[in-house]
Structure 1
């Protein structure tokens, strides 16, 4: 009897179009996130960054959303702000223009409303794109679970605040799908938009290079026409040019050649007592590993060992884990490219969790095991993680490390 009732409930659901099923999942997820945000607001105090009794609009406009709003209203400074010691201070050059101006236009000048609509809409479209990307790799059921984990995951609040992540993830998933289907032409339009939405396009340039090498190595059993070679090389060059162009633009406008890099380093100086004066690739993660383990009362060299073990474990998972291998070579190459990019440019702190969002295709590997108990357990873990992230970053955000 129970089986018949369950089957009767499932059949109407399965008859719905995929877009409708994903819409229902996404709507439920957003209602849960809204509930979490309201609960976090009720727990906010005068000691919190948002003060007592903040509204949902305060969260939408909180943290980095303020910088995007500043870009939309005032553009970028032609004179870099300086600290009392003469170093470049935090400024708008760290934030790309596409999301900032798109939110302004969508909101008809009311930036917060536009930012909310853009993030919310792009989040749903990203769910559709994720399903399309994974369906042929892991099957329909697992792909729908991957979408569920994504929509309700620990960082799902980003679908409802003024951050560029939703838009970037949507563009990225479409781009990865185009590469996997070898429809390279659309990427000439997509890459510049991605590049000026948020940092990360250099990781995509590396991915295209690795994709090209893979295609070349397999050309005997998987033909590689000359026109596709041209596309891959040209797109890799375009992504590289777009990735470095923002540094050139910032340098030309401000008259300071390394304006963008110094701007990015200005955030790192908030964490380190003796920060470096110039950007050095991979130094941020090495410094960060030492910094955090020292903060936790351990020798700095323990952090270096932990970092080496983490990198080794990541490499093993990408090359050997069966569930990850089912995603296909291209998605594993993207993951490796983006992880290498983060290691090269980022100083690890609480924002690292948000910066891991471009690894969204890995939800497919998480969704592969078919055990219902396992999948429900993962979903519960996602919701618990989401609540803890919202509580820490928006509800009781008062410590120096509570930065989304």
Structure 2
């Protein structure tokens, strides 16, 4: 008589892990497994670079009085958030001898440092410990909500792989350093998910908080406008109802998000008494790249490319923009739904309109992560695995280039 062997502990563990990753549990377990694995990878890479840099005396921008891995994880822009958390915003803008505004805290929005400050008071922890903890937990939330967003507009295969590509991306290490990025991603992905599910009050609440976390929430207002138009057209064709009890909230939420997205420059001007306080602060970071400039929408990419590469750079920008238009018009991208399409396209236009492209561009592209659910990245398992390996392979390169040679 043939006996059936008992499954080994290893095989049972493997079966459970496959069940988790293939979504046969709740909608949060699989993305949290992906997030946890990605944090192991990013932590090992960051810790390795920290040890190598410390042993060789490399310069980096972390606090050196009490050098540690936590202070290392609070480098670069995190130092500005620390200043805001501990001292608030200046009422007088710093200027040079010629009266030009110098880089200062008004370029950074208040939600992340305010939350960190509150938790520092409650726990007695340092900015670095609390800031890293808040950012890391928000990164976990961003993975969960991204998974649910792509699941809502696609399928479990796309949701799993989009989340993995996001968490293991070259800039994935930023989901655990004391930046506001992971909090913005959590809020924006949550706002988009709520919009897809037609929970308009939630869209408004998350969007307003996001508007004071980092710039770019006007793209969410555009997504609301696209959603409005799509529902209105479908209603006019008799495809689905669009009653006024839905129309009014959509209109109100869109207007509120637009106002919130434009509010921070007004706040800066009122507090400092300078009408262009925020704009002059942002332009102060341009000086080292393109000299002192007057701002004109839709010109920064051409200014940067023309300054460094001349006519070739201008042509390169045109090619990049044409490729972006081609990408957003692909059927697989449009299949992600009008909300995702509207938000990501509007956010890309926002970057082209106001942002001077430099080494922080990869970080600023992170809100476009819902696009990772398209066929371009996850149509087949082989394609998804290839992109995953590319992301993991480039992450240590990004850490060296951005965390040591530049700043993300």
Same fold (TM over 0.5): yes
Structure 1, unpaired ranges of 5+ = 294-299
What residue in structure 2 maps to residue 132 of structure 1? 148
What residue in structure 1 maps to residue 157 of structure 2? 141
What residue in structure 1 maps to residue 317 of structure 2? 307
- Report the Cα offset of residue 133 of structure 1: 0.7
Residue 57 (structure 2) pairs with residue 32 (structure 1): no
- Report the Cα offset of residue 50 of structure 1: 4.4
Higher deviation after alignment, 311-320 or 205-214 = 205-214
Residue 221 (structure 2) pairs with residue 217 (structure 1): no
TM (normalized to structure 1)? Answer: 0.90
What residue in structure 1 maps to residue 208 of structure 2? 192
- Report the Cα offset of residue 80 of structure 1: 0.6
- Report the Cα offset of residue 377 of structure 1: 1.6
What residue in structure 2 maps to residue 83 of structure 1? 96
- Report the Cα offset of residue 315 of structure 1: 1.0
Write the distance in 2 (CA, Å) between the matches of 1:328 and 1:378: 23
Taking a change above 3 Å as real, the CA distance of residues 351 and 193 of structure 1, as seen in their structure-2 partners, is same
Residue 81 (structure 2) pairs with residue 68 (structure 1): yes
Write the distance in 2 (CA, Å) between the matches of 1:117 and 1:86: 39
What residue in structure 2 maps to residue 352 of structure 1? 361
Higher deviation after alignment, 52-61 or 113-122 = 52-61
Contact 1:325 1:332 in 2 (8 A): yes
What residue in structure 2 maps to residue 252 of structure 1? 270
Residue 32 (structure 2) pairs with residue 23 (structure 1): yes
From 370, 373, 398, the counterpart of 2:380: 370
Q: Deviations over 1:124-143 (max 9, x none)?
A: 11111111111133311221
Q: CA RMSD in A?
A: 2.2
Structure 2, unpaired ranges of 5+ = 1-6
Taking a change above 3 Å as real, the CA distance of residues 232 and 387 of structure 1, as seen in their structure-2 partners, is same
Contact 2:73 2:178 in 1 (8 A): yes
Q: Deviations over 1:118-165 (max 9, x none)?
A: 111111111111111111333112211211111111111111111001
What residue in structure 2 maps to residue 297 of structure 1? none
Write the distance in 1 (CA, Å) between the matches of 2:248 and 2:145: 26
- Report the Cα offset of residue 270 of structure 1: 1.9
- Report the Cα offset of residue 7 of structure 1: 9.0
TM (normalized to structure 2)? Answer: 0.89
From 27, 32, 48, the counterpart of 2:59: 48
- Report the Cα offset of residue 206 of structure 1: 2.4
What residue in structure 2 maps to residue 296 of structure 1? none
Write the distance in 1 (CA, Å) between the matches of 2:144 and 2:316: 37
Q: Deviations over 1:222-276 (max 9, x none)?
A: 3222222222221121112112211111111111011001001011112113x21
Contact 2:223 2:340 in 1 (8 A): no
Write the distance in 1 (CA, Å) between the matches of 2:13 and 2:333: 32
Which structure would you say has the larger RCO, counting Cα contacts within 8 Å and 6 or more residues apart?
Answer: 1
Taking a change above 3 Å as real, the CA distance of residues 71 and 50 of structure 1, as seen in their structure-2 partners, is closer
Contact 1:106 1:118 in 2 (8 A): no
Taking a change above 3 Å as real, the CA distance of residues 138 and 359 of structure 1, as seen in their structure-2 partners, is same
Taking a change above 3 Å as real, the CA distance of residues 235 and 169 of structure 1, as seen in their structure-2 partners, is same
Write the distance in 2 (CA, Å) between the matches of 1:343 and 1:16: 41
Write the distance in 2 (CA, Å) between the matches of 1:360 and 1:381: 16
Write the distance in 2 (CA, Å) between the matches of 1:224 and 1:289: 46
